[in-house]
Amino acid sequence: MEGVYEIKILNASNRDLLKISQDRSLGLSVREMLRIQGYFKKEGRNPTDIELEAFAQSWSEHSCYKTSKPILERTVFRINAPQNICVISEDAGVVDFNEDYAYVVALESHNHPSALDPYGGAATGVGGILRDVVCMGAQPLALTDSLFFGPLDYPEDKIPAGVKHPNFLFRGVVSGIADYGNRVGIPTVSGMVYFDKGYVGNCLVNVGCIGMVKKDRIARSRVGNSGDVYIMAGGKTGRDGIHGVTFASAELDEKSEERDIPAVQLGYAIMKEPLIHACLEVNEKGLLTGMKDFGGGGLSCVASEMAHAGGKGARINLDRVMLKADGLAPWEIWVSESQERMMLSVKPENVDRVLEIFDFWDVPAVCVGDVNDTQRIRADYRGKTVLDLNLNFLIKGARYEREYKIVEKEEREETFSMPDLNKIIPEILNSRQIGSRESVIRRYDHEVRGNTILSPMQGLINKQSHGDSSVIKPLRDSYRGLAITTDVNPGLSGFNPYWGAASAVEEVVRNLVAVNSTPHSLADCLNFGNPEKPERLGEFVRCCEGLHFAANSFGIPFVSGNVSFYNESSGGAIKPTPTLLGVGIVRDVRKAVSSDLKKGGNPVYLIGGTMKELGGSEYYRILGLNAGISPKVNPEWTKKNMRSLLKAMDLSLVRSCHDLSNGGLLVAMTEMAFGGDLGLEMDLTSLPDLRTDIKLFSESNGRWLVEVDAKKEEEFRSVVSANKVGTVTKEKEIRISDTKTRLTFELDELRRRWNSAI
């Protein structure tokens, strides 16, 4: 048949099978090709090219988690945390908000596309995460972005062949996220930017979305009944995004630019907003039986997965698919990952009403197939069947227990003389990991839609500083809110994958509590190197175990997630990067607490214990020390302090709060001072008997720095166990005293160093 080819695999040798996979960029191993060969021997025929492409999509690491799922099932899927609504197996997690509403959470990676086309790759990452939330029937409310690049000043002559400079990637990614999110009208309220030479060969772009849905209007990513009609709505199908998931399931190399650029999708933000409106309207009117977005694997995955999830089969007519250009082969139509597309399943009697609504919103929509009881997926082209596969074998075909190797690092402290703190403190504030992210944050609209109560930057106008979490008010008639934060410290997870991952969970908890919210749910985006290398997979195993330990101890479930493997190039693998998105419940947004100091004369207290835990810290990185003890997590201590701090906040005893994380006490207190444009008189003698630099730069977990209302200090002390470490001053200076140390810094000079880091 014209445009469709039979691939002769029935009598092919192992070498021939591998060559077929390589020549067609299928990403299938010999082992997988042999299984497919066995399947078609039972069918009594050779496959068509489109059928082989279908297996390549469904069996890719990106689509089916064939390596990670067994490990996830032993760890992050086994959190003891009761939730009335918690859907982890679909496109996004759905979690209770109140009696009538649920919030929806999704977090995804768009790493490889962004490494080749930073602007388009990042933009389509935002588009994809919006669709993940919409297909649950939810209105998107907020976006997050967690970004990881090589140093912006990395020497040109050291950039590996085929790799773009970090500065180019950084600027392109930020622009792509800003332009897409701003055009669609969804605020970007949380994120992080991290720079390390480990990301030179493979940047990371992790995007998240939070939405809100009425509980009686939650949509499902599956078909309803036999006879339902498949309606394909939104953008047209083209050659962009061909082999997107197989591209994401392989290492980058110097030929990726030329070979894989067609795998990068092209975003179309102007189509997205009316598409969202139309999808939500047909769902609100109860006209759908199911809805799913076109993500990885395109039509191949969306049509197959919806039918399989509903226990049904389906038939698709490829001639009805709207195309961007003439001449697309059937297999290209089947696997294209062109953006802004949604698939709906609709009862026959509702088809006309659905099409009318999409026409009203000026969004193209067309019937492309129907649901049946065959439990097979079939595709027709020009009157003939070109694909006919058993869905159970297609969807559940690949799962591995790969060999892994855990390398335990001996942790030890080094003896060294304390450096000149007058020099090291400005240097830390000017470092790329600590310095102000305002130049990035201001590219995003974080207040569109009018729901944002606390923004990413907090404090006086033109003096604002980093906050711990953003707070949004999702419902017009309720003061109940959501706190949102994104966290991971690759310095810690790279130093010790287990405790680094556990620390990421603990930091989420601290950041959510810091704004007066109760930690409620987590989403993860687990970014690692090649899982076929035992040491890389060992890092993944240890991170998952650390995530499980901490999340299970705090009783916070992972409600959604993503695994991104093969983040590796000729320059090596990235650091283990388990990015987290945390959501907390704010009982009353009017009592949300920001990070900026409020008034001279108020006392400042440190909650939590400070220990000599500097392994992976920013202080040791600047000193060039690859040693130290990694920060540990003690959930019981943290939960006790968390409860008392939240009680103090509800009693309005706390004026400002900031958690201690990267950079330790020094960074927390200076950021609070920057935001309030006030000074601090700090006395560290009440802290444990440690050297001054350890007190200032330790990154021990479980700590908050709080400003207390001076008139309510005694009441605060009766509620919270904490050490008084300072006083807010009207003089714009940071003064630090310890047993043998006296330091004074002009606030404006420290701010200048902090602001000029990026």
Catalytic residue set: 62, 110
Q: What is the CB neighbour count within 10 angstroms for residue 309?
A: 18
- Dig out the tokens for 99 from the structure: 């009696």
Do the strands 188-195 and 139-149 form a parallel or antiparallel pair, or are they unpaired?
Answer: parallel
CA distance 382 to 321: 12
DSSP class per residue in 471-511: EE---TT---EEEEEEE--HHHHHH-HHHHHHHHHHHHHHH
Give residues with Cβ within 8 angstroms of 445, minimum separation 6.
181, 182, 187, 188
CA angle 342, 343, 346 (to 5 degrees): 135
Give residues with Cβ within 8 angstroms of 598, minimum separation 6.
655, 656, 676, 678, 707, 728
Residue whose structure tokens are 């999808």? 279
Q: Which residues of 644-667 are buried (b: 16+ CB within 10 A; e: fewer)?
A: bbbebbeeebbbbbbbbbbbbbbb
CA distance 116 to 605: 47
Q: Where are the alpha helices (DSSP H) in 208-284?
A: 244-247, 256-260, 269-284
Using DSSP's 3-state secondary structure scheme, residue 164 falls into: coil
Give residues with Cβ within 8 angstroms of 214, minimum separation 6.
100, 101, 102
Give residues with Cβ within 8 angstroms of 194, minimum separation 6.
146, 147, 148, 149, 433, 490
Task: Label residue 702 left, alpha or beta by phi (over 0 means left) and psi (-120 to 50 means alpha).
Answer: left
Q: Are 536 and 529 in contact (CB under 8 A)?
A: yes
Do the strands 704-708 and 654-659 form a parallel or antiparallel pair, or are they unpaired?
Answer: antiparallel
Do the strands 204-214 and 188-195 form a parallel or antiparallel pair, or are they unpaired?
Answer: unpaired
> Which helix (H) or strand (E) segment is 428 a member of?
helix 421-429
Tallying the residues shown for the chain, one arrives at 758
Q: How many CA atoms lie within 13 A of 303 on its CB side?
A: 32
Q: Where are the alpha helices (DSSP H) in 226-312?
A: 244-247, 256-260, 269-284, 298-309
CA distance 658 to 482: 18
- Dig out the tokens for 637 from the structure: 């201590």
CA distance 55 to 335: 10
CA angle 294, 296, 302 (to 5 degrees): 45
SS3 annotation, 648-666: HHHCCCEEEEEECCCCHHH
Q: In 3D, which of 295, 266, 275, 247 has the Cα closest to residue 129? A: 295
